[in-house]
Amino acid sequence: LAKTTQPISMDSYEGQEVNITCSHNNIATNDYITWYQQFPSQGPRFIIQGYKTKVTNEVASLFIPADRKSSTLSLPRFSLSDTAVYYCLVGDGGVRTGGFKTIFGAGTRLFVKA
Amino acid sequence: EAGVAQSPRYKIIEKRQSVAFWCNPISGHATLYWYQQILGQGPKLLIQFQNNGVVDDSQLPKDRFSAERLKGVDSTLKIQPAKLEDSAVYLCASSLVSRGRPVGHSPLHFGNGTRLTVT
Burial class from Cβ neighbours inside 10 Å (0-12, 13-18, 19+) for residue B72 reads middle
* Gap between the Cα atoms of B88 and B82, Å rounded: 11
- Asked if pLDDT for residue A98 goes beyond 80, the answer is no
**How many Å lie between the alpha carbon of B55 and the closest alpha carbon of chain A?**
6
- The minimal CB distance from A95 to the residues B4, B41, B102 is found for B102
Q: In this predicted structure, what is the pLDDT of residue B100? A: 46
CB contact under 8 A, B48 and A45: no
pLDDT in tens, A51-88: 999 999 999 999 999 999 999 999 999 999 999 999 99
- The minimal CB distance from B106 to the residues A36, A93, A104 is found for A93
**Which residues on neighbouring strands pair with residue A32, listed in sequence order?**
A91
Contacts of A114 (CB under 8 A, 6+ apart): none
How many of the other CB atoms lie within 10 Å of CB of B62? 10
3-state helix, strand, coil split of chain B in percent (to 5) is 5, 45, 50
Interface of A with B (CB under 8 A): 30, 32, 34, 36, 41-46, 49, 51, 85, 87, 89, 91-95, 98-107
Q: In this predicted structure, what is the pLDDT of residue A96? A: 45
A9-12 and A108-112 as β-strands: parallel, antiparallel, unpaired? parallel
Using alpha carbons only, how large is chain B's radius of gyration in Å? Answer: 14
- Within an 8 Å CB–CB cutoff, is residue B25 touching chain A? no
CB pairs A-B closer than 8 Å: 77
Q: Which residue has the higher pLDDT, A54 or B97?
A: A54
